[in-house]
Amino acid sequence: MTRHAVLKAPTEFDFEIPYFLSQPGAGKIIHDYRKNDAIYSQGDSADTVFFILNGRIKLTVLSEQGKEAVVGLLEAGQFFGECCLNGIPLQTATATAMENCTITSITKCTMLAALRDDPAMTDFFMSYLIARNSRIEEDLADQLFNSSEKRLARLLTILARFGDDGSSKPIDIDISQETLAEMVGTTRSRVSYFMNKFRRLGFISYDDRIQVHESLLDAMMSDKMEPEGA
């Protein structure tokens, strides 16, 4: 199971796509959610595709034994709930707002019609799915081959959106060490240990928000993270 996914939306598509995704209409409603609001719950009827206009949400799953795991953090420009397009009748995860969000809900029928009738929309959506699947493959390899320290480092650099200009960036969401542990697949105590180590080495700093520095990315890319049993 992939532990996390933070994806970039495709760009430079037909000008009608932003209008379709951001304006209410037949089969489309714009919703505002406050932090910690549930957008839907695991087991709810799956008949709607959602698109994030602003804010971030998290996807969590609950096992039959009652154990919860975070399986995705999604941000503006991303879809979720698209499993309904594949005929899956019930939501497989719970979607919760991590901050104030504005989200477009699109009925299954409306989304299928848009994909059928608008080639530009089809290209946009397919590009998104390909990017998402690539990230899932990266996450799986991360879980299988990397230590929990390196998995945490990778997650922090993803959340800080490294890759745009390489500068130090704050993580602009309120995320707990418990949530980080769930996403990395380790214990909270191990995350606390690694976070203190990263701060001591100058890889991160934090007061209200975690600040991720380029040195963490350099250490991760040069494979200087210590191996350990994850």
CATH number for position 189: 1.10.10.10
| pLDDT value at residue 1 | 38
CB 213 within 8 A of CB 199: no
Span 95-148, pLDDT tens digits: 999 999 999 999 999 999 999 999 999 999 999 999 888 887 887 787 777 889
Domain boundary (141, 165, 196) is at: 141
Check whether residue 34 and residue 110 sit in a common domain: yes
Check whether residue 135 and residue 154 sit in a common domain: no
HEC assignment per residue over the chain: CCCCCCCCCCCCCCCHHHHHHHCCECCEEEEEECCCCEEECCCCECCEEEEEEECEEEEEEECCCCCEEEEEEEECCCEECHHHHHCCCECCCEEEECCCEEEEEEEHHHHHHHHHHCHHHHHHHHHHHHHHHHHHHHHHHHHHHCCHHHHHHHHHHHHCCCCCCCCCEECCCCCCHHHHHHHHCCCHHHHHHHHHHHHHCCCEEECCCEEECHHHHHHHHCCCCCCCCC
Span 17-32, pLDDT tens digits: 888 999 999 999 999 9
Check whether residue 159 and residue 133 sit in a common domain: no
Can you give the residue range of the structural domain that contains 160? 147-221
Say yes or no to pLDDT of 189 above 80. yes
Check whether residue 135 and residue 26 sit in a common domain: yes
Check whether residue 113 and residue 159 sit in a common domain: no
Check whether residue 99 and residue 167 sit in a common domain: no
For the chain, the domain total comes to 2
Check whether residue 137 and residue 163 sit in a common domain: no
Q: Confidence band (pLDDT; 50, 70, 90) for 3?
A: very low
Query: 30 — phi, psi (to 5°)?
Result: -100, 125
| pLDDT value at residue 6 | 43
Averaged pLDDT of the chain: 85
Check whether residue 152 and residue 38 sit in a common domain: no
Q: Is 78 contained in some domain?
A: yes
Q: Is 159 contained in some domain?
A: yes
pTM: 0.77
Check whether residue 134 and residue 154 sit in a common domain: no
Average pLDDT over residues 164-185: 77
Check whether residue 175 and residue 66 sit in a common domain: no
Span 68-89, pLDDT tens digits: 888 888 989 999 999 999 999 9
Average pLDDT over residues 39-67: 93
